[in-house]
Amino acid sequence: MTNLALLMKSLVDKDLRVRYKRSLLGFLWFLLKPLFSMAVYTAVFTRIIRFGGAIQHFSLFLLTGLLPWNFFSSSLSASTRTLLDNHRLIRSVYFPRAALPVAAVLANGVHMILALGVLEIALWVWGHTSGLPLLAVIPGVFMLCCLTSGLALALSVWNVYYRDVSQFLEVVLLAWFYASPVIYPLGRGMIPPGVEAVLRYNPMSGILGIFHCAMYYGVWPETWCWVSGVAWSLAFMALGIAVFRGREASVVKEL
């Protein structure tokens, strides 16, 4: 195992230990939070607005989108402050500093994969068998991690110069959530065609479509989902690497 891999493993292990120190439920919190959100959204969209009543087992559909989304949002929130929170370590020891925000993403990725395993069991119990299309989740997870890591690298740098980036991120994520197909599907005739055409340009739409198709519907994701997922994950990863490499030296001085 290379030195970089050992460093990443150490940082991920540290993140997991610190996060759940003195926690009785530990990993279960990563599943309990989306379960609570699922219960609230299900009540609102099936009992009040009655939007979700058109989707069979709406709670499971919702959870299939919530788990990847919660990974995305929690990873960005955690990684944005990693450089500031580790400023003493950065200034005293040389190591690949990009490992800090990426490790925060990977730590959340461990939780997401375990939670997806639990969800797949629930989907199977309720008759949502996937078969071979379930394999599409593997590249889906990889693309989601790449997209999130790229954004995390850029945001962690920008937050060093402008401390309100982390605060602004919360507002952006709230709006981004409702613009993403988490609580509603695309390509099922439930969204006006003009609105759906715009929503497909959302960087998260294609990736969430992969999870919904592979896990909930049990079919191979549509071509546009793959094109969108690959294009946006590569674009954000390139952006993150470029921003981090270009600003790494000045970030150390700024800290």
Q: pTM value?
A: 0.84
Number of domains in the chain: 1
pLDDT band at residue 44 using 50, 70 and 90 as cut-offs: low
- Measuring CA to CA, which residue among 120, 129, 95 is closest to residue 11? 95
CA distance 175 to 142: 24
> Smallest Cα–Cα separation from 141: which of 162, 166, 118, 115?
115
What 3-state class would DSSP assign to 117?
helix
Q: Which helix or strand (DSSP H or E) is residue 249 part of? A: helix 223-254
The boundaries of the domain holding residue 222 are 3-254
| Paired tokens of 3 | 């030195």
pLDDT tens-place string over residues 156-169: 999 988 878 888 89
| pLDDT at res. 26 | 56
